[in-house]
Amino acid sequence: MHASARGVIERWKDNPVLTPDDVPYPVETVHNAGAVRCGDEIVLLFRAHRRSGRSILGLARSRDGVTFTVDPEPWLVPTDDPPLAEYERFGVEDPRITPLEGAYWITYSAYSRHGVRIALARTRDFRRVERVGLVSQADMRNVALFPEKIGGRYARLDRPHSGIAPWSIWISFSPDLVHWGDSRRLIAPAPYHWDEMKVGPGAPPIRTPRGWLVIYHGVFETMDGAVYRLGAALLDPEDPTRVVGVADDWILAPEDPWEVTGYVHNVVFTCGAVTEGDDRLRLYWGGADQVICTGTARIDDLVELCLTRPRPALGDPA
Ligand code: BMA
């Protein structure tokens, strides 16, 4: 029997797992968290709006994946040090965490009057953090590093903005994690489909026996504003420039009251997931840009959706 997209993610019964009230410093929101295992903890790096409307990154820790304690101070705030200061002035947003070669690498959006660029930071312990620098020009968002080199190069999924082309998921390569190129488009929004307005990578790609599992967000424009949902795609395990399949249906849509109503209505948006045992994925998502929710799915179910009911990666859906 084929897995059905509806219900493929089992929501945690006590969502949301983090709200602004859980944060010991003033914030309006807590959402869009990168996630990783670090020792016996799950660490979330989340985006939080200050009253000004500008964002900072906060850190929360958990032993069980559902009960979190937030550190007393923000983890990363816009820097005053040049040259990055000029590019982080309006805030830092949407971090993704990738463990790679003994460190945790964090890609985040750096906002300024010059647009949105991606910056890279690294840490070994989530106590000290070192900024590496900017790794894209404007305008770029949603950068997720692969957790291993591919063909001798670092690889990432990214999502350039364009006034001309649809906002698509691309793949790029680098010799050093700083200089990127050889970019190719992988997955485009599908016209008149739930992800027709834009798509963007979510959690860093997850290696499975049948390929790299990509959880992405897709946006649909309505008369009532945009709706953000999550979808799944599979890339070839050896050559991730080849798309194996993009699931036709979404895997998660705003349904719970705190996903439907909040800072921005009708949003589920992910930056992170961790594996649980051999066969499950624990996904974290922002609900309505205001709270953090979690749920789990069988990795095989997600993979099967990509294989059995795919839509064209770059073209019209069936
Ligand atoms: C995107 C980003 C995300 C946010 C989403 C929905 O452009 O700003 O951080 O969750 O919009 O508002």
Domains of the chain and CATH, by start? 2-311 (2.115.10.20)
Q: Which atom of ligand 1 is nearest to the CA of 263?
A: 12
Compute, in angstroms, the gap from residue 152 CA to the centroid of ligand 1. 33
Query: pLDDT-derived band of residue 2, with 50, 70 and 90 as boundaries?
Result: very low
Q: What average pLDDT score do residues 203-222 get?
A: 98
Q: Is 108 helix (H, G, I), strand (E, B) or coil?
A: strand
Question: Taking all residues of the chain, what is their mean pLDDT, rounded to a whole number?
Answer: 96
* Per-residue confidence (pLDDT) for residue 317, from 0 to 100: 57
- pLDDT above 70 covers what percent of the chain? 97
Question: Residue 249 class from Cβ within 10 Å (0-12 exposed, 13-18 middle, 19+ buried)?
Answer: middle
**259 CB near ligand 1 (under 6 Å):** no
Query: pLDDT-derived band of residue 315, with 50, 70 and 90 as boundaries?
Result: confident
**286 CB near ligand 1 (under 6 Å):** yes
Residue 263, CA atoms < 13 Å, CB-side half-sphere: 22
Q: Which atom of ligand 1 is nearest to the CA of 269?
A: 10
Q: Is 169 helix (H, G, I), strand (E, B) or coil?
A: strand
Compute, in angstroms, the gap from residue 102 CA to the centroid of ligand 1. 30
Tokens of 121: 């930071």
Residue 169 has pLDDT above 90, yes or no: yes
* Per-residue confidence (pLDDT) for residue 72, from 0 to 100: 98
Compute, in angstroms, the gap from residue 142 CA to the centroid of ligand 1. 10
Compute, in angstroms, the gap from residue 151 CA to the centroid of ligand 1. 32
Q: Cβ contacts of residue 102 below 8 Å, gap of 6+?
A: 124
Q: Are 48 and 58 in contact (CB under 8 A)?
A: yes
Query: pLDDT-derived band of residue 196, with 50, 70 and 90 as boundaries?
Result: very high
Query: pLDDT-derived band of residue 316, with 50, 70 and 90 as boundaries?
Result: low
**111 CB near ligand 1 (under 6 Å):** no
* Per-residue confidence (pLDDT) for residue 7, from 0 to 100: 78
Q: What average pLDDT score do residues 115-132 get?
A: 97
Tokens of 214: 């990509």
User: Closest Cα to atom 4, ligand 1: which residue?
Assistant: 289
* Per-residue confidence (pLDDT) for residue 75, from 0 to 100: 98
* Per-residue confidence (pLDDT) for residue 5, from 0 to 100: 58
Query: pLDDT-derived band of residue 309, with 50, 70 and 90 as boundaries?
Result: confident
* Per-residue confidence (pLDDT) for residue 1, from 0 to 100: 38
User: Closest Cα to atom 7, ligand 1: which residue?
Assistant: 141
* Per-residue confidence (pLDDT) for residue 235, from 0 to 100: 98
* Per-residue confidence (pLDDT) for residue 6, from 0 to 100: 64
* Per-residue confidence (pLDDT) for residue 318, from 0 to 100: 52
* Per-residue confidence (pLDDT) for residue 263, from 0 to 100: 98
**5 CB near ligand 1 (under 6 Å):** no
